[in-house]
């Protein structure tokens, strides 16, 4: 039995929604409690809904009551500080798994390519139910930053680069697409990441906000791309050599966030 998926995400694996008027809301993300949690890049996270209802970032499939990334438990202390973020996460009316703000320190492009990963959103997800995808709402106004999407980690052909000004709203099948954020800084980037279950509610939400499955990539120079690719190659080779020296097998990055 297949999973329920969104037709809007079928072609490219992502949609970009209308831009949200982020400047109209207070900067609630600066009031939240953050925990150190290494993801793709130098990161901290502020969970608002988590597996246990406490301020922690563990995978939903771990520990007691293991489950897929659905039925997140809202954390009262965090919800009280971020009513607008909670309202936006709940707007689709879809089942919410984890809901958290990521804080990403400046990340050069080559590092971003090395950070490319696929999420493990659907472990333990029963077939016949909705496929878990993720919403990314950019909170800080990162005019020079972009989200990188690839079908293949090391193949730049077809790379998509989505701009990340304040109010950018993306929904991505992050288990399908390799993804990571390029962020030149100098300040940290903040983004609300929510796991949603695919289904009619999410489809209606995407339609309501005019989701488009193709955008024009942020333009960068050929030199910029080539240098990033060179650094990715170099870092992957160094990683493979380090693993080989320890007699370990190739590492496949599967992370819970980006």
Strand partners, 161: 148
Nearer to Fe ion, 22 or 175 (CB): 175
In the bound state with Fe ion, the residue whose beta carbon lies nearer, of 9 and 258, is: 258
Shortest distance, CB of residue 12 to Fe ion, whole angstroms?
17
Closest distance to Fe ion from the beta carbon of 174 (Å): 5
Q: Which residue is nearest to Fe ion (CB)?
A: 258
User: What's the min distance (Å) between Cβ of 121 and Fe ion?
Assistant: 9
Q: Are 196 and 134 within 8 A, CB to CB?
A: yes
In angstroms, give the least distance from the CB of 16 to Fe ion.
17
Q: Cα separation of 68 and 79, whole Å?
A: 22
Alpha carbon distances (Å) from 32 to 74, 190, 222, 250? 13, 12, 39, 37
| Closer Cβ to Fe ion, 109 or 136, answer by number | 136
As beta bridge partners, residue 195 has 134
Nearer CB in complex with Fe ion: 28/119? 119
* Least distance in angstroms from the C-beta of 115 to Fe ion: 9
Classified as helix, coil or strand, 115 is helix
- Give CB contacts under 8 A, 24+ apart, made by 152-158: 152/178, 153/116, 153/117, 153/178, 154/232, 154/233, 154/236, 156/225, 156/229
Residues in contact with Fe ion by the rule CB under 5 A: 119, 174, 258
Closest alpha carbon to 119 in 257, 12, 10, 14:
257
Select 86 or 149, whichever has its Cβ closest to Fe ion: 149
């Amino acid at each position: 039995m297949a999973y329920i998926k969104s037709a809007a995400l079928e072609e490219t694996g992502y949609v970009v929604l209308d831009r949200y008027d982020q400047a109209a809301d207070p900067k609630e993300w600066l009031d939240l409690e953050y925990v150190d949690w290494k993801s793709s890049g130098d990161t901290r996270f502020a969970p608002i809904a988590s597996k246990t209802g406490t301020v922690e970032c563990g995978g939903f499939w771990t520990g007691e009551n293991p489950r897929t990334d659905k039925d997140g438990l809202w954390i009262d202390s965090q919800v009280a500080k971020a009513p607008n973020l909670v309202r936006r996460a709940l707007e689709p009316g879809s089942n919410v798994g984890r809901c958290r703000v990521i804080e990403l320190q400046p990340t050069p492009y080559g590092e971003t390519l090395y950070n490319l990963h696929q999420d493990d959103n659907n472990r333990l997800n029963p077939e016949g139910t909705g496929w878990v995808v993720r919403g990314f709402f950019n909170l800080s106004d990162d005019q020079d930053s972009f989200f990188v999407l690839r079908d293949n980690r090391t193949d730049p052909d077809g790379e998509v680069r989505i701009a990340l000004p304040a109010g950018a709203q993306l929904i991505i099948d992050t288990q399908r697409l390799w993804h990571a954020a390029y962020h030149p800084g100098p300040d940290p980037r903040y983004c609300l990441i929510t796991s949603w279950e695919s289904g009619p509610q999410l489809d209606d939400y995407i339609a309501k906000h005019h989701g488009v499955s193709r955008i024009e990539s942020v333009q960068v120079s050929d030199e910029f791309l080539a240098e990033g690719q060179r650094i990715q190659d170099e870092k992957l080779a160094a990683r493979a050599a380090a693993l080989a020296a320890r007699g370990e097998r190739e590492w496949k990055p599967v992370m819970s966030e980006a």
